[in-house]
Amino acid sequence: MIISATFLDEITHDIPSQNWGRTEWSREFKLMRAAGIDTVVQIRVGHRRWMSFDSKVLKKEQNCHQPPVDLVAMFLELAGENNMAYYFGTYDSGQHWHEGRADREIAINKPLVEEVWEHYGKYPAFKGWYLSHEVSRNVNGIVDILATMGGHCKKISNNLPVLISPYIAGKKEVSAFESQISREEGVSLNEHEAEWDKILSGIKGQVDQIAFQDGHVDFHELPAFLELNRRLAERHGLQSWSNTETFDRDMPIKFLPIAWPKLLLKLQAARAAGIEKVITFEFPHFLSPHSCYPQAHGLFERYCEHFGIRAQV
Protein backbone atom coordinates (compact mmCIF):
# COMPACT_ATOMS: atom_id res chain seq x y z
CA MET A 1 0.00 0.00 0.00
CA ILE A 2 2.04 2.93 -1.21
CA ILE A 3 1.32 6.62 -0.94
CA SER A 4 -0.28 7.68 -4.19
CA ALA A 5 -1.43 11.19 -3.37
CA THR A 6 -0.07 14.17 -1.50
CA PHE A 7 -1.17 17.51 -0.24
CA LEU A 8 0.83 20.53 -1.35
CA ASP A 9 0.98 22.80 1.68
CA GLU A 10 0.48 26.18 0.00
CA ILE A 11 -0.65 28.50 1.61
CA THR A 12 1.13 27.09 4.63
CA HIS A 13 -0.43 27.47 8.04
CA ASP A 14 2.01 25.94 10.53
CA ILE A 15 4.74 24.46 8.30
CA PRO A 16 7.45 26.92 7.23
CA SER A 17 7.72 27.46 3.49
CA GLN A 18 10.55 25.90 1.51
CA ASN A 19 10.56 28.92 -0.79
CA TRP A 20 10.65 26.86 -3.94
CA GLY A 21 10.38 28.41 -7.37
CA ARG A 22 9.27 26.84 -10.62
CA THR A 23 12.54 24.98 -11.10
CA GLU A 24 12.29 23.25 -7.73
CA TRP A 25 8.58 22.48 -8.13
CA SER A 26 9.13 21.10 -11.61
CA ARG A 27 11.82 18.75 -10.33
CA GLU A 28 9.55 17.77 -7.45
CA PHE A 29 6.55 16.89 -9.60
CA LYS A 30 8.72 14.63 -11.79
CA LEU A 31 10.11 12.92 -8.72
CA MET A 32 6.71 12.49 -7.10
CA ARG A 33 5.29 10.95 -10.27
CA ALA A 34 8.22 8.54 -10.47
CA ALA A 35 7.64 7.60 -6.83
CA GLY A 36 4.03 6.65 -7.44
CA ILE A 37 2.12 9.87 -6.71
CA ASP A 38 -0.77 10.31 -9.15
CA THR A 39 -2.74 13.01 -7.32
CA VAL A 40 -1.74 16.35 -5.81
CA VAL A 41 -4.07 18.33 -3.58
CA GLN A 42 -3.37 22.00 -3.03
CA ILE A 43 -4.39 22.23 0.58
CA ARG A 44 -5.88 25.72 0.45
CA VAL A 45 -5.92 28.48 -2.11
CA GLY A 46 -5.74 31.01 0.66
CA HIS A 47 -5.63 31.46 4.40
CA ARG A 48 -6.44 34.66 6.26
CA ARG A 49 -4.93 37.43 4.13
CA TRP A 50 -2.70 35.21 2.03
CA MET A 51 -3.72 33.80 -1.34
CA SER A 52 -1.96 31.76 -3.98
CA PHE A 53 -3.35 33.37 -7.13
CA ASP A 54 -4.58 36.87 -7.90
CA SER A 55 -8.22 36.33 -6.88
CA LYS A 56 -10.68 39.18 -7.35
CA VAL A 57 -13.01 37.57 -4.85
CA LEU A 58 -10.41 37.25 -2.11
CA LYS A 59 -9.12 40.76 -2.64
CA LYS A 60 -12.63 42.17 -2.43
CA GLU A 61 -13.94 40.01 0.39
CA GLN A 62 -10.84 39.53 2.52
CA ASN A 63 -8.35 42.19 1.44
CA CYS A 64 -5.84 39.49 0.64
CA HIS A 65 -2.28 40.43 -0.22
CA GLN A 66 -1.14 40.34 -3.83
CA PRO A 67 0.81 37.07 -4.39
CA PRO A 68 4.09 37.18 -6.32
CA VAL A 69 3.26 34.11 -8.47
CA ASP A 70 0.20 32.17 -9.57
CA LEU A 71 0.67 28.89 -7.75
CA VAL A 72 -2.64 27.46 -8.94
CA ALA A 73 -1.63 27.81 -12.58
CA MET A 74 1.84 26.46 -11.88
CA PHE A 75 0.56 23.40 -10.03
CA LEU A 76 -2.03 22.73 -12.75
CA GLU A 77 0.60 22.97 -15.48
CA LEU A 78 3.08 20.73 -13.67
CA ALA A 79 0.35 18.21 -12.84
CA GLY A 80 -0.64 18.17 -16.49
CA GLU A 81 2.94 17.71 -17.70
CA ASN A 82 3.34 14.76 -15.37
CA ASN A 83 -0.05 13.20 -15.92
CA MET A 84 -1.25 13.77 -12.39
CA ALA A 85 -4.63 14.83 -11.05
CA TYR A 86 -4.85 18.21 -9.32
CA TYR A 87 -7.40 18.99 -6.60
CA PHE A 88 -8.13 22.60 -5.71
CA GLY A 89 -8.36 23.44 -1.99
CA THR A 90 -10.86 26.08 -0.93
CA TYR A 91 -10.22 29.22 1.14
CA ASP A 92 -10.03 29.09 4.93
CA SER A 93 -10.51 32.46 6.62
CA GLY A 94 -9.12 31.04 9.86
CA GLN A 95 -11.73 33.23 11.52
CA HIS A 96 -15.37 33.51 10.41
CA TRP A 97 -16.41 29.89 10.90
CA HIS A 98 -14.59 29.71 14.24
CA GLU A 99 -16.69 32.68 15.36
CA GLY A 100 -20.07 31.30 14.43
CA ARG A 101 -20.28 32.66 10.91
CA ALA A 102 -20.18 29.58 8.70
CA ASP A 103 -22.45 31.50 6.34
CA ARG A 104 -19.72 34.07 5.76
CA GLU A 105 -17.21 31.30 5.02
CA ILE A 106 -19.63 29.94 2.43
CA ALA A 107 -20.41 33.39 1.02
CA ILE A 108 -16.72 33.91 0.26
CA ASN A 109 -16.04 30.45 -1.09
CA LYS A 110 -18.99 30.18 -3.47
CA PRO A 111 -17.96 33.02 -5.78
CA LEU A 112 -14.34 32.02 -5.27
CA VAL A 113 -14.78 28.51 -6.67
CA GLU A 114 -16.75 30.01 -9.55
CA GLU A 115 -13.89 32.39 -10.25
CA VAL A 116 -11.45 29.50 -10.05
CA TRP A 117 -13.48 27.25 -12.30
CA GLU A 118 -13.84 30.01 -14.87
CA HIS A 119 -10.09 30.68 -14.90
CA TYR A 120 -8.66 27.21 -14.38
CA GLY A 121 -11.43 24.76 -15.29
CA LYS A 122 -9.97 24.41 -18.75
CA TYR A 123 -6.77 22.81 -17.46
CA PRO A 124 -6.99 19.06 -18.13
CA ALA A 125 -5.31 18.27 -14.81
CA PHE A 126 -8.13 19.93 -12.81
CA LYS A 127 -9.72 16.74 -11.49
CA GLY A 128 -11.28 17.54 -8.15
CA TRP A 129 -11.98 19.80 -5.20
CA TYR A 130 -10.70 19.73 -1.66
CA LEU A 131 -12.76 21.38 1.06
CA SER A 132 -10.09 22.83 3.31
CA HIS A 133 -12.17 23.24 6.47
CA GLU A 134 -10.79 20.67 8.91
CA VAL A 135 -12.69 19.49 11.98
CA SER A 136 -12.83 16.54 14.33
CA ARG A 137 -16.32 17.24 15.67
CA ASN A 138 -19.72 18.46 14.52
CA VAL A 139 -18.95 22.10 15.27
CA ASN A 140 -18.64 25.51 13.63
CA GLY A 141 -21.41 24.81 11.13
CA ILE A 142 -19.20 22.27 9.43
CA VAL A 143 -22.10 20.29 7.93
CA ASP A 144 -23.40 23.44 6.25
CA ILE A 145 -19.98 24.37 4.93
CA LEU A 146 -19.11 20.94 3.57
CA ALA A 147 -22.56 20.12 2.15
CA THR A 148 -23.06 23.53 0.56
CA MET A 149 -19.56 23.91 -0.82
CA GLY A 150 -19.30 20.26 -1.90
CA GLY A 151 -22.59 20.53 -3.76
CA HIS A 152 -21.66 23.84 -5.33
CA CYS A 153 -18.25 22.63 -6.50
CA LYS A 154 -19.79 19.55 -8.06
CA LYS A 155 -22.55 21.55 -9.73
CA ILE A 156 -20.27 24.06 -11.44
CA SER A 157 -17.67 21.48 -12.52
CA ASN A 158 -19.80 18.76 -14.03
CA ASN A 159 -19.58 16.68 -10.89
CA LEU A 160 -15.85 16.54 -10.21
CA PRO A 161 -15.11 14.59 -7.02
CA VAL A 162 -14.88 16.37 -3.69
CA LEU A 163 -12.42 15.36 -0.98
CA ILE A 164 -12.33 16.17 2.74
CA SER A 165 -9.68 15.37 5.34
CA PRO A 166 -10.98 15.64 8.90
CA TYR A 167 -9.19 14.42 11.98
CA ILE A 168 -9.89 12.32 15.01
CA ALA A 169 -10.34 14.07 18.37
CA GLY A 170 -7.69 11.79 19.83
CA LYS A 171 -5.13 12.22 22.57
CA LYS A 172 -2.79 14.03 20.22
CA GLU A 173 -5.32 16.66 19.19
CA VAL A 174 -3.23 19.52 20.52
CA SER A 175 -2.61 22.86 18.86
CA ALA A 176 0.67 23.16 17.00
CA PHE A 177 1.10 26.34 19.02
CA GLU A 178 1.11 24.55 22.37
CA SER A 179 4.33 23.04 23.64
CA GLN A 180 2.61 19.88 24.86
CA ILE A 181 2.09 17.03 22.38
CA SER A 182 -0.83 15.17 23.95
CA ARG A 183 -3.67 15.48 26.43
CA GLU A 184 -5.26 13.17 28.97
CA GLU A 185 -8.31 11.97 27.15
CA GLY A 186 -9.06 11.32 23.51
CA VAL A 187 -12.37 10.56 21.86
CA SER A 188 -13.65 6.98 22.17
CA LEU A 189 -14.49 4.85 19.17
CA ASN A 190 -18.19 5.08 20.06
CA GLU A 191 -18.22 8.84 20.34
CA HIS A 192 -16.26 9.18 17.10
CA GLU A 193 -18.71 6.92 15.31
CA ALA A 194 -21.78 8.76 16.61
CA GLU A 195 -20.39 12.18 15.76
CA TRP A 196 -19.27 11.26 12.27
CA ASP A 197 -22.44 9.35 11.49
CA LYS A 198 -24.25 12.61 12.04
CA ILE A 199 -21.80 14.68 9.98
CA LEU A 200 -21.61 12.22 7.10
CA SER A 201 -25.40 11.89 7.00
CA GLY A 202 -25.57 15.64 6.62
CA ILE A 203 -23.14 15.85 3.70
CA LYS A 204 -24.26 12.71 1.84
CA GLY A 205 -23.94 13.04 -1.90
CA GLN A 206 -22.05 16.32 -1.69
CA VAL A 207 -18.69 14.82 -0.80
CA ASP A 208 -17.06 11.82 -2.50
CA GLN A 209 -13.85 10.98 -0.67
CA ILE A 210 -12.82 11.17 2.96
CA ALA A 211 -9.25 10.93 4.16
CA PHE A 212 -9.10 11.06 7.95
CA GLN A 213 -5.76 12.33 9.27
CA ASP A 214 -4.05 9.44 11.02
CA GLY A 215 -1.84 11.27 13.50
CA HIS A 216 -4.07 12.23 16.43
CA VAL A 217 -4.40 8.82 18.06
CA ASP A 218 -1.70 6.62 19.53
CA PHE A 219 -0.20 4.08 17.18
CA HIS A 220 -1.78 1.09 18.88
CA GLU A 221 -5.20 2.75 18.69
CA LEU A 222 -4.90 3.39 14.96
CA PRO A 223 -6.04 0.02 13.54
CA ALA A 224 -9.43 0.26 15.27
CA PHE A 225 -9.96 3.85 14.15
CA LEU A 226 -8.93 3.10 10.56
CA GLU A 227 -11.33 0.18 10.48
CA LEU A 228 -14.13 2.35 11.90
CA ASN A 229 -13.37 5.15 9.46
CA ARG A 230 -13.58 2.73 6.55
CA ARG A 231 -16.97 1.48 7.79
CA LEU A 232 -18.22 5.03 8.28
CA ALA A 233 -17.22 5.89 4.74
CA GLU A 234 -18.89 2.80 3.30
CA ARG A 235 -22.06 3.40 5.27
CA HIS A 236 -22.41 6.84 3.73
CA GLY A 237 -21.25 6.05 0.22
CA LEU A 238 -17.84 7.69 0.39
CA GLN A 239 -14.48 6.41 -0.81
CA SER A 240 -12.26 5.81 2.21
CA TRP A 241 -8.77 7.24 1.93
CA SER A 242 -6.27 7.65 4.72
CA ASN A 243 -4.25 10.81 5.26
CA THR A 244 -1.05 9.13 6.39
CA GLU A 245 0.92 11.94 7.92
CA THR A 246 4.65 11.88 7.22
CA PHE A 247 5.58 14.27 10.02
CA ASP A 248 6.26 13.34 13.61
CA ARG A 249 3.75 14.48 16.23
CA ASP A 250 5.72 13.06 19.16
CA MET A 251 8.64 15.46 19.23
CA PRO A 252 9.19 18.91 20.77
CA ILE A 253 10.04 20.40 17.38
CA LYS A 254 6.75 20.91 15.59
CA PHE A 255 7.18 19.45 12.99
CA LEU A 256 9.93 17.38 11.40
CA PRO A 257 9.74 14.18 9.30
CA ILE A 258 8.44 11.07 11.02
CA ALA A 259 10.56 8.06 11.97
CA TRP A 260 10.35 5.33 9.34
CA PRO A 261 9.09 2.61 11.71
CA LYS A 262 6.11 4.80 12.54
CA LEU A 263 5.29 5.50 8.91
CA LEU A 264 5.56 1.83 8.00
CA LEU A 265 3.27 0.84 10.86
CA LYS A 266 0.65 3.34 9.73
CA LEU A 267 0.78 2.25 6.10
CA GLN A 268 0.42 -1.39 7.15
CA ALA A 269 -2.53 -0.47 9.34
CA ALA A 270 -4.22 1.38 6.47
CA ARG A 271 -3.81 -1.63 4.25
CA ALA A 272 -5.12 -4.02 6.88
CA ALA A 273 -8.19 -1.81 7.39
CA GLY A 274 -9.08 -1.94 3.69
CA ILE A 275 -8.44 1.72 3.01
CA GLU A 276 -8.71 2.49 -0.73
CA LYS A 277 -6.05 5.14 -1.24
CA VAL A 278 -3.34 6.80 0.81
CA ILE A 279 -2.68 10.52 0.65
CA THR A 280 0.02 12.12 2.76
CA PHE A 281 0.56 15.45 4.41
CA GLU A 282 2.88 16.00 2.77
CA PHE A 283 5.48 14.79 0.32
CA PRO A 284 7.54 17.94 -0.41
CA HIS A 285 8.38 18.79 3.21
CA PHE A 286 8.46 15.40 4.89
CA LEU A 287 9.07 12.59 2.41
CA SER A 288 11.03 14.21 -0.37
CA PRO A 289 14.73 13.75 -1.08
CA HIS A 290 14.62 17.46 -1.92
CA SER A 291 13.09 18.48 1.39
CA CYS A 292 14.70 21.18 3.51
CA TYR A 293 14.68 18.57 6.29
CA PRO A 294 17.38 15.94 5.63
CA GLN A 295 15.47 13.50 7.86
CA ALA A 296 13.05 13.32 4.93
CA HIS A 297 15.82 12.20 2.59
CA GLY A 298 16.40 9.21 4.86
CA LEU A 299 12.67 8.57 5.10
CA PHE A 300 12.40 8.53 1.31
CA GLU A 301 15.30 6.06 1.09
CA ARG A 302 13.73 3.72 3.66
CA TYR A 303 10.32 4.03 2.01
CA CYS A 304 11.63 3.30 -1.49
CA GLU A 305 13.76 0.38 -0.25
CA HIS A 306 10.81 -1.19 1.50
CA PHE A 307 8.37 -0.90 -1.39
CA GLY A 308 10.89 -1.48 -4.18
CA ILE A 309 10.30 1.98 -5.64
CA ARG A 310 12.98 3.17 -8.04
CA ALA A 311 12.79 6.91 -8.51
CA GLN A 312 15.75 8.79 -9.88
CA VAL A 313 16.37 11.73 -7.57
Binding site for a copy of itself (CB under 8 A): 12, 14-21, 24, 49-50, 63, 65, 67-68, 176-181, 219-220, 248, 251-261, 264-265, 292-299, 301-302, 305-306
CB atoms within 10 A of CB 127: 19
CB atoms within 10 A of CB 159: 10
Q: CA distances (Å), 244 to each of 55, 63, 67, 187, 200, in order?
A: 31, 34, 30, 19, 21
Q: What does the alpha-carbon distance between residue 247 and residue 30 come to, in Å, rounded to a whole number?
A: 22
Residue spans of alpha helices (H) in 63-206: 71-81, 102-120, 142-156, 189-202
Q: What does the alpha-carbon distance between residue 212 and residue 150 come to, in Å, rounded to a whole number?
A: 17
Q: Letter for the amino acid at 78?
A: L
Which residue number, 237 or 261, has a Cβ lying nearer to a copy of itself?
261
Mapped onto helix, strand or coil, the DSSP state of residue 313 is coil
